[in-house]
Structure 1
Amino acid sequence: MKGLQAIGITVMADDATLVEPVNFTLQPGLPLTLLGETGSGKSLLAQAVMGILPQGLQASGTLIINGQHYQLPQDGAALRGLWGRTLASLPQEPWRALDPTMVIQQQVAEGYRFVRGHSDNRSEAAAQDDLEQLGLAASAHKYPWQLSGGMAQRAAFAAARAGGAQILIADEPTKGLDVSRRDEVSALLRREVAVGGTLLTITHDIALARQLDGDIMVMHKGKVIEQGRAQQVLQTPVQRYTRELLAADPANWPARQPAVIRSKPVVQAQGIRLERGGKALGVPENFTLHAGEIVGLQGASGSGKSSFGDVLLGLLKPQRGIITRLASADRLKYQKIYQDPSALFPPVQTLAQSLDDVLRLHRIARSRRNKLMEQLALDASLLTRRPDSLSGGELQRFSLLRVMLLEPVFLFADEPTSRLDPVVQQQTLQLITGMAREQQCAVLLVSHDRDLLEKSAHRVLAMQAA
């Protein structure tokens, strides 16, 4: 039998069970999607199948791959022998899978050369053909850091498939991508299925799960709680958690009541012109943001959204125009929340150490930190951990905590939820909008998701592509 069958796959850490026994079957031409929030165990399940669990974790159970039986954990070495040839992984961060020192075509060619054993010339020709089919012919001799997120994901796909593997495991393949790039990756995966490929996708992106169709398994706290055909699970879910997960999709949020904010201006832009490579970006020429107002900013990757927010913060100077901020407010009152919260905290320090630096430098009482942690539903035990041991949602709430300690008058929230699952995304947006209301903080909220902006912001601006 072609494909993959998993029987009783379990993941343990010492005496704790992280993923309870799971059974599923992957068939050529019928995609299977694991849907769930961060920490539900879906990525651990995929890592167990690939044999790449983090140190300290152990998998058990049986895998039947193309008719061959493998017992976990003892057959782990045999599983590794299938990498590239039979099993391939498309990671959620393509830059972690691509070598930053090699151009894309070389990296794809290596799969043909070292896994399939093709000659150098044949490998280069095959890589060139793959990249052309994926719309990357013009980028064949570029490095990964020269590509957009969607282009990098397509390049990683080509590299993963170069060895000839028929079973592909895609882990959060649309994480951090805008809608058009997400649809590109979705089309890529659906094309793989259409030609008889075997696909397992791990995602919290409900739109992607709907586009892939096929079968769906919903995971929650290490258990599969619901499974079935995509149409049935997504339209008429049985389990309460599945209904809550779907309700957390911005498309299903209640509409925000329109409001006109007439408070004092916090930041103003007049006659702004911003360029990249000598070409003008489609940023608003004139713009005013008031205290307590939330303005959404939408646009494709590269349109200049982040650059415009940095101009308002004073981190970037425009080619023309004037930025006016509150004369009575210290520059530290103008703050930013980043798309990737892991970039905000030193990896070798605990969260307590990082926050203590802020408290000490700005003479802020520790009691204020504790009160804000309670408001943000952050357990005190998390303070003893380093950033890499927290979930994306927990770390993003800590980044919001750090900002709130400074009582900002303006917050530039640059894609603060694009890497979060729907439930945590909704919670994080509620925290940001609540801060805007309670502290009269003006917020410029960037997102690729039009539904999210229309349901969260008082008004939405659309950026034109550069």
Structure 2
Amino acid sequence: MTELLELDRLSVRFLLGQRATVRAVTDATLRLRPGRVLALVGESGCGKSVLAAALLGLLPGNAQVRGKAVLRGGIELLSAPEAVLARQVRGRLIGLVPQSASTHLTPVRTARSQLVETIRALGAATGADQLAERVGLNPADLDRYPHELSGGMAQRVALALALVADPQVILADEPTTGLDRPLVHRTVDLLAEAATDDRAVLLITHDLAAARRVATDVAVMYASRIVEAGPAEEVLTDPWHPYTAGLLAALPDGGFRPIPGHPPMLTELDRIEQEWGCVFCQRCPEVPGFAPCTGDPELREHGDRWVAAHPPC
């Protein structure tokens, strides 16, 4: 297996008693290869962070999970017992860079004490100062408390924590939330530097500009499904799916043209697909008069690039 991480039809549903079922992730299939930055992009609420939580075994008790997610070496993440995830995966094979790093850190302890504790717990050979320098942080800043760190500093501490055990995969879940544009650039540039010959980055973001800056590959997610995936340069310059085209059109260089309407509720996806054929067609500029989807029913695929069939998108 050349991939560091291989997802095959990963699906997650949340049961809300007798009231409803949230279809958070549907049949996600991805390949993460060494030296690559795969950006999983889409509007907030489409299921990106749920996918990340599934990989780390951090879903709540009402989650139903199916499919496979296999790390190089053979660990199947979705069926692995908690002992394996805690002792072999989290922090060791998969390093997490969380959303809002400053609130992720313990507020009453210095950054150094938290980094040293992580080094000790994972049995790593590197030192705290070495890790700080590796992520472009002055070692003296490690002696500050989280509230004394800027957003960019806190994010670098979070990246240093993720790199302690030199994991195969860096999973960055919305790591640029709340940062201004210069700090966004610095953060994603650091993540891109972490994608070496034996390591890869899965960057989960709603910031398409940040993804465009560093991603080698892109997967576009809408209403729980990945609707398009492939090399970043191709997907972001010649989108095949109307949703991808709409995201690009909403950027400044795309003319600030937002996609009309709102994403559907994840509790309504089964009904929408039954009635309309495609969960995007009610927002799709290619569908006249909000008619049921009549898109190409065949999966379009070429090399490493593909777009979801219609229906459903």
TM-score by length of 2: 0.75
Mapped partners of 2:105, 2:30: distance in 1: 30
Question: Equivalent residue for 2:252?
Answer: 250
1:214 and 2:216 correspond: yes
Instruction: Give the conservation status (yes or no) of the 8 Å contact 2:249–2:256.
Output: no
SS at match of 2:143: coil
SS at match of 1:47: helix
Segments of structure 2 that go 5 or more residues without pairing to the other structure are 16-20, 263-313
Q: Write the mapping of 1:36-435 to structure 2, written as runs, cut at 5 A.
A: 36-70=42-76, 72-73=78-79, 75-81=81-87, 82-116=89-123, 126-133=127-134, 134-194=136-196, 196-253=198-255
1:29 and 2:35 correspond: yes
Superposed displacement of residue 251, structure 1: 3.5
Mapped partners of 1:32, 1:158: distance in 2: 20
Instruction: Give the conservation status (yes or no) of the 8 Å contact 1:109–1:162.
Output: no
Mapped partners of 1:167, 1:84: distance in 2: 10
Instruction: Give the conservation status (yes or no) of the 8 Å contact 1:193–1:199.
Output: yes
Mapped partners of 1:69, 1:197: distance in 2: 16
Mapped partners of 1:13, 1:193: distance in 2: 33
Q: Which amino acid aligns with 2:72?
A: N
Q: Which amino acid aligns with 1:93?
A: S
Q: Which amino acid aligns with 1:230?
A: A
Instruction: Give the conservation status (yes or no) of the 8 Å contact 1:62–1:69.
Output: no
SS at match of 1:102: coil
Instruction: Give the conservation status (yes or no) of the 8 Å contact 2:55–2:78.
Output: no
Number of residue-to-residue matches in the alignment:
253
Mapped partners of 1:215, 1:95: distance in 2: 28
Question: Equivalent residue for 2:287?
Answer: none
C-alpha spacing 1:37/1:199, structure 2 compared with 1 (3 Å): same
Q: Which amino acid aligns with 1:10?
A: S
Mapped partners of 1:237, 1:117: distance in 2: 43
Mapped partners of 1:56, 1:86: distance in 2: 26
Structure with more relative contact order (C-alpha pairs < 8 Å, separation 6 or more): 2
Give deviations 1:114-168, integer Å, cap 9, x for gaps: 11165xxxx6xx1012112322323121011101111100011101211332211
Mapped partners of 2:81, 2:97: distance in 1: 22
SS at match of 1:92: coil
Superposed displacement of residue 71, structure 1: 6.0
| Runs of 4+ residues over 3 Å off in structure 1 | 73-77
Question: Equivalent residue for 1:387?
Answer: none
Instruction: Give the conservation status (yes or no) of the 8 Å contact 1:61–1:71.
Output: no
C-alpha spacing 1:213/1:49, structure 2 compared with 1 (3 Å): same
| % same residue | 35
C-alpha spacing 1:55/1:248, structure 2 compared with 1 (3 Å): farther
SS at match of 2:8: strand
C-alpha spacing 1:139/1:233, structure 2 compared with 1 (3 Å): same
Superposed displacement of residue 65, structure 1: 1.1
Instruction: Give the conservation status (yes or no) of the 8 Å contact 2:132–2:139.
Output: yes
Superposed displacement of residue 54, structure 1: 3.4
Superposed displacement of residue 69, structure 1: 3.7
TM-score by length of 1: 0.51
Mapped partners of 1:71, 1:153: distance in 2: 26
SS at match of 2:119: helix
Mapped partners of 2:186, 2:198: distance in 1: 19
Mapped partners of 1:58, 1:116: distance in 2: 34
Q: Which amino acid aligns with 1:79?
A: L
Q: Which amino acid aligns with 1:103?
A: T
Segments of structure 1 that go 5 or more residues without pairing to the other structure are 256-375, 378-466
Instruction: Give the conservation status (yes or no) of the 8 Å contact 1:33–1:203.
Output: yes
Mapped partners of 1:173, 1:117: distance in 2: 24
Question: Equivalent residue for 1:11?
Answer: 12
- RMSD over aligned CA atoms reads 2.4
Superposed displacement of residue 73, structure 1: 4.2
SS at match of 2:76: strand
Superposed displacement of residue 56, structure 1: 2.1
C-alpha spacing 1:67/1:205, structure 2 compared with 1 (3 Å): same
Q: Which amino acid aligns with 1:51?
A: G
Superposed displacement of residue 222, structure 1: 0.3
SS at match of 1:38: coil
Mapped partners of 1:70, 1:141: distance in 2: 38
C-alpha spacing 1:190/1:155, structure 2 compared with 1 (3 Å): same
SS at match of 1:180: helix
Instruction: Give the conservation status (yes or no) of the 8 Å contact 2:124–2:164.
Output: no
